Amino acid sequence: MLNQVMFFLFGAMIVIFSLLTVTSRKVLRAAVFLLFVLISTAGLYFALSYNFLAAVQLTVYAGGIVVLIIFSILLTSQVSEKAVMAPVKQSLLSALSVGAGAILTLMTIFKFAFVPNPGTDPQYNITDVGTALVSYKRDGYALPFEVISVLLLAAMIGAIVVAKKESIKK
Amino acid sequence: MIQNIPLSYYLVISTLMFFIGIYGFLTRRNLITMLMSVELILNSVNINFVAFNRYLYPQQLEGHFFTLIVVAVAAAESAVAIAIIINIYRNFKSVDVENVDEMKY
């Protein structure tokens, strides 16, 4: 009973705040709505009993990316100015095509009967996650782990090089 | 803790979130808000991975690790995108896609 209440609460928060994120005229407010969406998603992960994933979602997404977006909003625009939206005709056409796609996908989802695996809650702890991340045996994820660390290093260097000021040499 | 909640409900939430993100990507004119729409889309995909993993294969952690890696890629992507956006702002004094219409400055 309680888990149903929590699920519908988080689901409603996700849908409502996603809509507000893409329709709000004030950019900073849209970023705060995005923060609410990400926190509700972490709540869904807790409800699915993936606690480590929910913690990562909270720290990386809600803590890191939203702060980065808010910083860049403050650096690039006046907080008071309203965001420019697409013309009405284009908005209507986008809403129409997006609605058609959503209805098509939802019909497909409800047509297919998913049979859940009757298992208990997954019994895993943080040690298992850490061991799997660096294990190269079966069910190990050492290669993706290394690839992602190289990608993060490359992204960090690339971001610094792109965003740094031109030298005043010339 | 998934009793009485069908898998379809999670898929409905992630579908709605995905298409709302696409709508934002099509109608927004500000580069940063377009980036926020992309984050919505990535997040909805993560919900799909986690729900499928939990409901259909609760003994394994494939979707769990895939989501971890998608989160890391999203962080790298948004860092590079924001660096590019700040550079664009420095050159064009605007982050609206209408004003940024030439690659050479």
Q: What is the per-residue pLDDT across A6-54, written as a single tens digit (0 to 9) for each?
A: 899 999 999 999 999 999 888 889 999 999 999 999 999 988 888 889 9
ipTM, two decimals: 0.91
One domain for residues A77 and A131: no
* Chain A: closest CA distance from residue B102 (Å): 18
Q: CB B55 to CB A114 under 8 A?
A: yes
One domain for residues A76 and A140: no
Taking alpha carbons only, the member of B69, B7, B1, B43 closest to residue A114 is B7
The token pair at A40 is 């509700």
The token pair at A15 is 């849908």
Residue A168: band (very low, low, confident or very high) from pLDDT cuts 50, 70, 90: low
One domain for residues A69 and A138: no
How far is it, in rounded angstroms, from Cα A7 to Cα B28?
30
Q: Report pLDDT for A123.
A: 67
Q: Set out the domains of chain B in order of their start, with CATH numbers.
A: 7-92 (1.10.287.3510)
How far is it, in rounded angstroms, from Cα A31 to Cα A35?
6
Using DSSP, state whether A74 is helix, strand or coil.
Answer: helix
Q: Report pLDDT for B1.
A: 58
How many percent of chain A have pLDDT more than 70? 92
| Mean pLDDT (chain B, rounded) | 88
> Looking at per-residue confidence, does B16 or B93 come out higher?
B16
* CATH code for the domain of A51: 1.20.120.1200
Q: Are A85 and B29 in contact (CB under 8 A)?
A: yes
* Nearest CB neighbour to A68, from listed B40, B47, B79: B79
Residue B25: band (very low, low, confident or very high) from pLDDT cuts 50, 70, 90: very high
For the ranges A21-30, A114-123, A135-144, B69-78, which has the lowest average pLDDT? Answer: A114-123
CA A63 remoteness from chain centre: 12
Cβ-proximal residues to A55 (8 Å cutoff; 6+ apart), any chain: A42
Q: What is the per-residue pLDDT across A46-79, written as a single tens digit (0 to 9) for each?
A: 888 888 899 999 999 888 899 999 999 888 877 6
Contact status of A110 with chain B (Cβ, < 8 Å): yes
Whether residue A138 lies inside any domain: the answer is yes
Chain A residues 146-165 with a CB less than 8 Å from chain B: 148, 151-152, 154-156, 158-160, 162-163
Q: Judge whether residue B19 has pLDDT over 90.
A: yes
To the question of pTM greater than 0.95 for the whole model, the response is: no
Residue A133: band (very low, low, confident or very high) from pLDDT cuts 50, 70, 90: confident
Domain hosting A152: range is 125-165
One domain for residues A75 and A148: no
Whether residue A88 lies inside any domain: the answer is no
Q: Report pLDDT for A55.
A: 92
Measured between beta carbons, the chain A residues lying within 8 angstroms of B100 are none
Q: CB A18 to CB B26 under 8 A?
A: no
- How many structural domains comprise chain A? 2
Best of A98, A103, A125, A164 to substitute, by most chain B Cβ atoms within 10 angstroms, is: A98
- Provide mean pLDDT across the span A145-157: 92
* Chain B: closest CA distance from residue A169 (Å): 18
Q: What is the per-residue pLDDT across B74-102, written as a single tens digit (0 to 9) for each?
A: 999 999 999 988 888 888 888 888 877 77
Q: Judge whether residue A120 has pLDDT over 70.
A: no
Alpha-carbon distances, residue B46 vs B17, B18, B21, B87, B103 (angstroms): 11, 11, 14, 30, 34
Contact status of A104 with chain B (Cβ, < 8 Å): no
Residue A92: band (very low, low, confident or very high) from pLDDT cuts 50, 70, 90: very high
Whether residue A52 lies inside any domain: the answer is yes
Residue B26: band (very low, low, confident or very high) from pLDDT cuts 50, 70, 90: very high
